[in-house]
Amino acid sequence: MMRINLDGIHTNLRFSAAHMVIGHESCGKIHGHSYIVDVEVEGERSGQFGFVIDFKVLKNITRRICKSLDHRVLVPINSPDLKVTFEDDNTIEFTVLDCLEYKLPKQDVVLLPIESTTAESLSTYITEKIVDEIEDKDTLSYIEVQVNEGIGQGASYRKYIEH
């Protein structure tokens, strides 16, 4: 087995986004981070070039995901404490904790199918998206993504690939 790594700082795997941790004393207010995404893949070397995975392919997938989150407000639509009250092509309205009402331009929002927008939940979400987009996973053991909310503070999730 061999591991390959993408260091988000040096490979420019980043996004800036606003979010809130619903119900948290200080993080419950809308605030933002400049996120850095690190990726690790373990597997067997294979193919014409003996790659675990082609760095270019992995970087392109991860960059697309980061770009989809960049400069947006991340809204966890599976949160039990958040209710979308109105949505059309231009606007989204939602209520948090049955009392805080938000109305935002839809183009500024990403509705994520997760319960919260913590680094833990974002690392799981991004890992699952990468796994879904990789076409040939036959020789891979796992993919791990760390989402950093700045330098030195992050959470990682490892998904083992079933064969």
In the residue annotation, 66 being an active-site residue is answered as no
In the residue annotation, 24 being an active-site residue is answered as no
Strands 2-6, 31-43: pairing is antiparallel
Q: How many Å separate Cα 37 from the centre of its chain?
A: 8
- Cross-strand bridge partners of residue 34: 16
Tell me, what's the pLDDT at 163? Answer: 82
Residue 18: pLDDT above 90? yes
Find the length of the chain.
Answer: 163
Q: What is the CATH number of the domain that holds 44?
A: 3.30.479.10
Q: Count of domains in the chain?
A: 1
- Kindly state the percentage of the chain with pLDDT values over 90: 91
Asked whether 60 and 54 are in contact (CB, 8 A), the reply is no
Structural domain including 47 reads 2-160
The residue from 24, 44, 71, 101 that is catalytic is 71
> How does residue 158 score in pLDDT terms, banded at 50, 70 and 90?
very high
What's the average model confidence in pLDDT over 63-79?
A: 98
> How does residue 98 score in pLDDT terms, banded at 50, 70 and 90?
confident
The 10s digit of each residue's pLDDT in 134-147 is 999 999 999 999 99
How far apart, in whole angstroms, are the C-alpha atoms of residue 21 and residue 61? 27
In the residue annotation, 149 being an active-site residue is answered as yes
Asked whether 97 and 23 are in contact (CB, 8 A), the reply is yes
How far apart, in whole angstroms, are the C-alpha atoms of residue 135 and residue 49? 17
> How does residue 90 score in pLDDT terms, banded at 50, 70 and 90?
very high
What's the average model confidence in pLDDT over 5-32?
A: 95
